[in-house]
Amino acid sequence: MGIKKGSKLFRFGLVASACALMLSACSGGDSESGSNADGKETITFINHKTDWTGNGKWDEYIAEFNKEHPDIEVKVETITDYAGQMQIRMNSKDYGDVLMVPTTIKPADNANFFEPLGDQKELEEKYLLLSDRAYDGVSYGIPIAVNTTGVLINMKVFNDAGVTEFPKTPEDFVAALGKIKESNSDITPLYTNYASNWAMSNWDYVREAAAGDPNFTNELTADKTPFDSGKPMNTIYKTLFDSVKEGYTEADPSTTDWEQSKQDLADGKIAAMVLGSWAIEQVQALAENPEDIQFAAFPTSVDGKQYTTIGGDYNIGINVNSKHKEAARTFLDWFLEESNYAADTGGISPKVGAPLPAALGSMETAGVEFFQATPAPEGKESLFADINNASEIGLGTTDAIKQRIVDAAKGNTDESFEDIMKELNTKWGNAIEEIGK
């Protein structure tokens, strides 16, 4: 059985047994896309899966698509810093025909950039988690997969250090990292991916799980001091700070390498990274023993229970400026309905009732409870994003605050953890005053 429509909280065991180093040559819906001499219509599909360009996977996908739709040529363009580069590209009309919707686009701005895909309630009969890219009851994007965020681990490294169960509290987690470091000083217990400019945002995506509350993000819009000690955001960031301060992360954060980190985790040179479940397949594919690579809930518990939030991966959408919207929709529908993208990336299918992947079995064993984050109330779809942007904190959109915490913990700055949390409270509180409704 898969995730059913409307399920808000469920125990996993009851229902089953969210890159290249440079931008590829630009092509887009307004310039390169068009009709070929042989009569084929050409569209451009822009996405973040650069590793699939290198291994030929996108070529396989397009070949499968063309078996059914030989009259549509699909040019694939991949970008490493997808959100950052696309934010620049979208200042023009030249951002392809089909693309992954950048998370930096506010819901209220959906219609300025993306073609409406249909009525939200009707589409929810087929797809999960449409609230992220819906506004006023209209959907502008559909998740390409459903993921959860937690900790991607090499469990053999933990076992070799005498840690046989993944920790369920921040204190036990930091202690476990210490055991790993003590057992083998050549291993990096926790890799931050500080230099990636995107990976550390995953620390923000565990916030509902850390709170044990699917409505937590909505509650943040009314909490003027969400970074106080004892509150979920403080707990998450303190876990990062303490791990770095104790020397359990990489020696020089500025030199981290995302691509190499995947191989090092597969090889047991790294024990853990905070990431989305989409990364499971990528690391398992590099491991000599794929079963060593497991996924765990973030090490927090509420009344003895662990939680994790399911959320959409990137949403796929259509450029509102595209001159080939019918062809673009044909490809989008094929991608969602007939391609194996979710399964091929270790994700949960966005289709209602689809089976859950075996890759999350370790979380089932641990008794983790999964839930969907509660959508924003009607009329307040953009409130969190507006406050987040006005505060310039960038929860889930930038690495800056997490990098600042790492720098403070390393002693590279004179700031204390408490200083940073106090400033974040001030910025968030001021933003609520400015934007709050």
pLDDT band of 430, cuts 50, 70, 90: very high
Looking at the fold, whether 46 and 191 belong to one and the same domain comes out as no
pLDDT at 358 over 90: no
What does the pLDDT read at residue 359? 76
Nearest to 339 by CA among 160, 76, 31: 76
Rounded to an integer, what distance in angstroms lies between the CA atom of residue 4 and that of residue 127? Answer: 10
In a domain, 215, yes or no: yes
Which of 205, 227, 212 is CA-nearest to residue 169?
Answer: 212
Half-sphere exposure of 35 (CA within 13 A, CB side): 3
Co-location of 197 and 295 in the same domain: yes
Residue 214 in domain: yes
Q: Burial level of 437, CB count in 10 A (0-12/13-18/19+)?
A: exposed
Would residue 411 be called left, alpha or beta, if left means φ above 0 and alpha means ψ between -120 and 50 degrees?
A: left
| Residue 135 covered by a domain | yes
In order of 117, 319, 351, the CA distances from 330 in angstroms are 12, 14, 17
CA pair distance 196, 341, nearest whole angstrom: 24
Instruction: Identify whether residues 53 and 75 lie together within a single domain.
Output: yes
Same domain, 159 and 300: yes
Average pLDDT over residues 193-200: 93
Average pLDDT over residues 354-367: 80
Of the candidates 220, 192, 205, 228, the residue with the CA atom closest to the CA atom of residue 424:
228
Beta bridge partners of 384: none
Give the integer Cα–Cα distance in Å for 325 and 232. 43
Return the closest-CA partner of residue 41 out of 338, 326, 316. 326
The strand pair at 146-154 and 307-312 is best described as: antiparallel
In this predicted structure, the answer to whether residue 26 has a pLDDT above a threshold of 50 is no
* Tokens encoding 359: 């890759």
Q: Select from 82, 147, 141, 372 the least CA-distant residue to 282.
A: 147
Q: Which residues contact 59 (CB under 8 A, 6 or more apart)?
A: none
In sequence order, what are the residues at sequence separation of 6 or more whose Cβ sits closer than 8 angstroms to the Cβ of residue 241? 405, 406, 408, 409, 417
Range of the domain at 39: 9-143+314-367
* Structure confidence at residue 25 (pLDDT): 29
Q: What are the distances in angstroms from CA 357 to CA 1, 3, 98, 196?
A: 10, 11, 27, 28
Whether the pLDDT of residue 315 is over 90: the answer is yes
- For residues 281 and 154, membership in a common domain is answered with yes
Query: Any idea what the CATH number is for the domain that residue 284 is in?
Result: 3.40.190.10
Smallest CA-to-CA distance from 138 within 155, 120, 113, 159 is with 120
- What is the band of 30 on the pLDDT scale with cuts at 50, 70, 90? very low
Cβ pair 391, 431 in contact under 8 A: yes
Residue 417 near residue 233, CB atoms below 8 Å? no
Number of domains in the chain: 2
CA-closest candidate to residue 150, choices 100, 196, 210, 82: 210
Rounded to an integer, the average pLDDT of 95-103 is 95
- With 90 as the cut, is the pLDDT of residue 284 above it? yes
Segment 114-120 mean pLDDT: 97
295 neighbors 356 (Cβ within 8 angstroms) = no
Same domain, residue pair 325 and 265 = no
Q: What rounded mean pLDDT belongs to the chain? A: 89
What ranges make up the beta strands (E) of 8-91? Answer: 9-11, 34-35, 41-47, 72-78
Same-domain status, 258 and 348: no
Number of H helices, E strands in the chain: 19, 16
Determine the 3-state secondary structure of 272 from DSSP: strand
pLDDT of 278 above 70: yes
In a domain, 355, yes or no: yes
Residue 16 has pLDDT above 50, yes or no: no
The 10s digit of each residue's pLDDT in 372-401 is: 899 899 889 889 999 999 999 999 989 999
CA distances from 254 to 21, 174, 223, 235, 317 (A): 16, 22, 33, 24, 34
In a domain, 168, yes or no: yes
* Percentage of the chain exceeding pLDDT 90: 75
Instruction: Report if residue 43 sits inside a domain.
Output: yes
pLDDT the model gives residue 35: 62
360 or 136, which is more confident: 136
Q: What is the pLDDT of residue 31?
A: 39
Q: Calculate mean pLDDT across residues 111-129.
A: 95
- Per residue in 321-357, pLDDT (tens digit) is 999 999 999 999 999 999 999 988 878 899 988 877 7
In the chain, % of residues over pLDDT 70: 91
pLDDT, average across residues 232-251:
98
| Residue where a domain stops, chosen among 334, 350, 367 | 367
Residues forming a β-bridge with 135: 138
Residue 314, amino acid: Y
> Is 297 among the domain residues?
yes
Nearest CA to 143 among 152, 133, 153, 154? 133
424 part of a folded domain: no
- Mark whether 161 and 300 lie in a shared domain: yes
Q: State the first-to-last Cα distance of the chain, in angstroms, to the nearest integer.
A: 40
Judge if 207 and 87 occupy the same domain. no
pLDDT of residue 13: 29
User: Distance between CA 187 and CA 163 in Å, rounded?
Assistant: 15
Confidence grade of residue 2 (pLDDT, cut at 50, 70, 90): very low
Confidence of residue 84 (pLDDT cuts 50, 70, 90): confident
Q: What is the pLDDT of residue 33?
A: 54
